Every structure is written in structure tokens, then in C-alpha cells.
Homo-oligomer: A and B are copies of this chain.
Amino acid sequence: MTGVSQATVSLVLNGRADAEVRIAPETRERVLKAIRSTGYVADPIARRLASRHNRILGVFTYESVFPAGLGDFYHPFLVGIEECAERIGCDLLLLTSAPVVDGRRRIFHQDNRLRLADGCVLLGRSLDPAELERLLGEGLPFVSVGRRDDAGGPVPYVGADYPGATAAQVRKARELGHERMVYVGQGAGPESHADRFKGFAAEAADGVHIREVDLDVIIRTGATCVFVEEYADGVALVRQAEDNGLRVPEDLSFVALGDPTRPAVTDREFTGYRIPRREMGWQAVELLSEILEGRPKGTQRLLPCEPVPGVTLAVARG
């Protein structure tokens, strides 16, 4: 149309006006006009093949992205991810095609399309260390939402400061006179669980750790304050306690360590803290973007959790 070469169009299209390359303003205008009139858009595939990046960020979740049974626990993360992606002009590729093997999705499989994206964001309670290690090994840029242990090297992440937030709750309970405290939950396995327990153990040296969600066991410890790893477990325990004639929080206090990951029906707001999910999603994308541009300001970030006063923690009974 304009009598110039494909190379020239490419140069104009990408606004290359470096010292190395120059295009006469008149030519540039002519090409731009043709581009505008035809609505020509460079093929993103070919562009990526040639230049190694395409402003697409992969989003890999170990569960469904749009969860049904998870009570939308992941939703706020995705809101943050989308907002930041939109802000920096990136599209999101949801890796929904990853097949489920042994009850969990696999990043690496026969036909994975991870490499289609410039980098990717990983979401899920627990990420397979072997897959993380391979990601690191292949040098594929990625950021985990949620802290992860090293996997043959430091894993870039944006996590929540569970230890700090949990410890703060323990301190608060102690200030209210609680002396005997119980941690109910795994306290291990996924980093988010381990971190909660770490915070608890650090602040409540004599605290008790119970793995089963069992009111009798809890009561037998003589504890006056219960820290539940899972919100939903707290809801169940409170119901049990009240069925047994205990008043909450007068007789027994409860602290929920984070937001519900399973749907939990209750009209009572638990004392505890809120995970900055949206912010985590946002910053994960931001960090990924920095990594892609080669100058990340620290590849591991912990964000503070916002305390929730709630109504399930009171002065310890005399």
C-alpha cells in the first residue's frame, strides 16, 4: 500500500526512533495512515515468536479459577490480579486446560501452554514443590501468591504475614488475661498453615497444639482461648460449645486465623484478621511485571493482615 518494506512497517508500528534506526517523518505518517485505515494489528503470535514477549500473563490455579465449593475464597485474589493486569496492559491466560492428576492440577503436562505467557502467577493452597523446582529450573518467570518454602532456590512470592498477624492475636489474648491457649488445626503442610502455627508457637510458648476439631479435647486442656486455623472449624466449635452450655466468648474465646476458605455459615463475626487477598493479587502481578523487566525490588514480599476486632474474644474468665 505504501511501497515500503515489511521491516519499515514493523519499525513504525513499534515506534522505533532510536539512534540506530530512523524513519523519515513523512514516511512514518504515510505508514501510520495505512495502518489506521486498515486497522492492521500485528499478529501477537508471530510477534511473540520473534521477540520473546507478548504482554500475556498466565494464571495457574490448583483449583478452579471460578470456584463453586470454595465459597469464593480465591475471588479477591483474582480481582487484584485482574486490576493490576488491566493497569499495566496485560492480558491474562487462565491455564484451565491443565489436567487433574491424583486430585490436583498439574502445571507440567503433555501439552502445557505455560510458555505462551511472558510469565505466570501461581495460586493455590499448596503448590507442588517438585513443580516449583522445575519452574525455577527452567527459568520461567513466575510469582506465587502466598509464601512458599524454597524449592531448590528462593521462590518469588507475595504472601500474607501469618506469623506476625497470628502472634499479634496471641498477644491481644494474653493482654485480656488468657493464659492457656490452644491452636486447632494442622499447623503444618501448606506454608500458610505452618506459618500460622509458627506465629502461635513463637508467642505462646506453652500453647497446646491440637489437630482434631474436637471440643472435648479442647476443654480438657483447660484452655480459655482457642485459635482456629480454619474459620469453618471455628464456626463448628462455637456451635458445639454453646450446645454444651458454654457462653462464647465469656466462657471460651475464639480467634479465627484468617478468612474462611470453606463456606461457613454464621452471623457472628470472629475475632482474628483479614488476609489482604486483593492486595496480594495486585502485588503479585506487579512483582511479576518487575521481574519481567529485569529489576525486581525484592522477590519475596510479606503483606500485613488487617486485625478484625470481632465478637468472639473477651476477657478471660476469672
Interface residues of A (CB under 8 A from B): 39, 41-46, 48-49, 54-56, 64-66, 68, 75, 78-79, 82-83, 85-86, 89-97, 99, 108, 110-113, 115-116, 134
Contacts and interface: CB of A to CB of B under 8 A. Distances in A.
Number of copies: 2
B97 A91 contact: yes
Contacts of A44: 113, 115-116
Contacts of A56: 93, 113, 116
Contacts of A92: 93-94, 96
Given A75-B66, A78-B66, A45 B97 contact: no
Given A54-B113, A78-B66, A108-B39, A86 B90 contact: no
Given A49-B46, A91-B95, A97-B90, A66 B79 contact: yes
Contacts of A91: 93-97, 113
Contacts of A65: 78, 82
A86 B96 contact: yes
A163 B95 CA distance: 37
A115 B45 contact: yes
25 contacts: A41-B110, A41-B112, A42-B111, A43-B49, A44-B116, A45-B54, A45-B115, A45-B116, A46-B49, A49-B49, A56-B113, A65-B82, A66-B75, A66-B79, A82-B94, A85-B94, A85-B96, A86-B96, A86-B97, A89-B97, A89-B111, A91-B95, A91-B96, A91-B113, A92-B96
